[in-house]
Amino acid sequence: MNSNRKVVLVGAGFVGTSFAYSLLNQGGVDELVLIDVNKDKIIGEEMDLSHGLPYAPHKMLIKAGDYDECKNANIVVITAGLAQKPGQSRLELAVANAKIMKDITQNVMKNGFKGVFIVASNPVDLMSYVVAEVSGLPKSRVIGSGTVLDTARLRYLIAEYIGVSSKNIHAYILGEHGDSSLVPWEHCYVGCKKITDIMKEKKHPMENLQRIHDYVWQAAYDIIEKKKATYYGIGMALNRLVRAVLDDENSILTVSTYQNNEYGQEGMYIGVPAIINKNGVKDIIELKLNEDDQKKFNHSCEIMKETIEKEITPILNEE
């Protein structure tokens, strides 16, 4: 890993700049390079971010650049792509953004990139698959933001409901970053206690947990309807992923990663708990799902496989 701790960001829209701003505030990166089709915008973003450096916790070089900067980067973060519109599902974005991902990945790899990709462009599971296929890198070195944000939303809502700190909620969302996601409640804990036991003891109906999950996947649509886009939460989530890689943390995060017969599935990217370190995905944490949860997970995977076959593969095969 490059000791300079260099991150290249491709895409300076709301998500990308929110991520960049969180890096500025939290530190941990020596060099941040911004790439976007709008050259004037990234020059403006470079200036605006750099003017905050006197009050930042650490020194950082921030600059507008191009794909040649990827050669010695530790991480390339991709947030570029068309935004999700009100009422539009993430899957409906697949075709247009797959073409964008293919072009970006080819440009990155032409310049000798050997680091870790982190993909946040939607639909993120499919876009991660595109980046992995086009780059030719080991699948472990292409990570999608997956359900990292969904999991954060889940933990926040459970914490509000139970009345404890969200940092003591250990719950995970699996599957698609979208409508077919699931929560394996049997593997969710408040501190060291199962949430299902807490619900029984307090005589709370289990349906309340399902309402919390329903609100998690609905949250993005609500935010988009009210303010046209969601970006602060995913900006923080991307920062968390970058730190896990740069600091070689071996942290467990629910990322979109390639399935190689884990959970009985293979051939697609999907959100699961995984151990993240300097090489990307070190290992996948395979939970023992009950029959109902396994069916939900299988359904989520089938959606990915069908979309890959019908929509993504033809784009990948184009010259």
Give the pLDDT confidence of 60-74 residue by residue, as tens digits: 999 999 999 999 999
Q: Is residue 83 domain-resident?
A: yes
In terms of domains, do 259 and 155 share one?
A: yes
Q: Is residue 1 domain-resident?
A: no
Instruction: Tell me what pLDDT residue 90 has.
Output: 61
Structural domain ending residue among the three candidates 118, 144, 170: 144
Structural domain ending residue among the three candidates 95, 110, 144: 144
Tokens 């990570």 appear where? 143
SS3 193: strand
Output the pTM of the full model: 0.95
For residue 190, what are the CA distances in angstroms to 16, 136, 195, 211, 311?
Answer: 32, 40, 6, 18, 41
Which domain range does residue 51 map to? 6-144
| CATH assignment of the domain containing 287 | 3.90.110.10
| CATH assignment of the domain containing 45 | 3.40.50.720
Confirm if 199 and 206 have CB atoms less than 8 A apart. Answer: yes
Q: Where are the beta strands (DSSP E) in the chain?
A: 6-10, 31-35, 61-64, 75-78, 116-119, 142-144, 169-170, 189-190, 193-194, 251-260, 266-277, 280-284
Kindly give the parts of the chain with pLDDT less than 50.
Answer: none
In terms of domains, do 108 and 175 share one?
A: no
In terms of domains, do 165 and 241 share one?
A: yes
Confirm if 127 and 97 have CB atoms less than 8 A apart. Answer: yes
Instruction: Tell me what pLDDT residue 1 has.
Output: 64
Number of domains in the chain: 2
Instruction: Tell me what pLDDT residue 281 has.
Output: 98
Q: Which residues are catalytic?
A: 177
In terms of domains, do 179 and 159 share one?
A: yes
Structural domain ending residue among the three candidates 88, 119, 144: 144
For residue 81, what are the CA distances in angstroms to 96, 199, 207?
Answer: 8, 41, 37
In terms of domains, do 275 and 298 share one?
A: yes
- Helices and strands, counts by H and E, the chain: 10, 12
- Comparing C-alpha atoms, which of 11, 16, 14 is closest to residue 239? 16
In terms of domains, do 19 and 128 share one?
A: yes
In terms of domains, do 220 and 102 share one?
A: no
Instruction: Tell me what pLDDT residue 163 has.
Output: 95
Distance between CA atoms of residues 230 and 53, nearest Å: 25
Q: Is residue 210 domain-resident?
A: yes
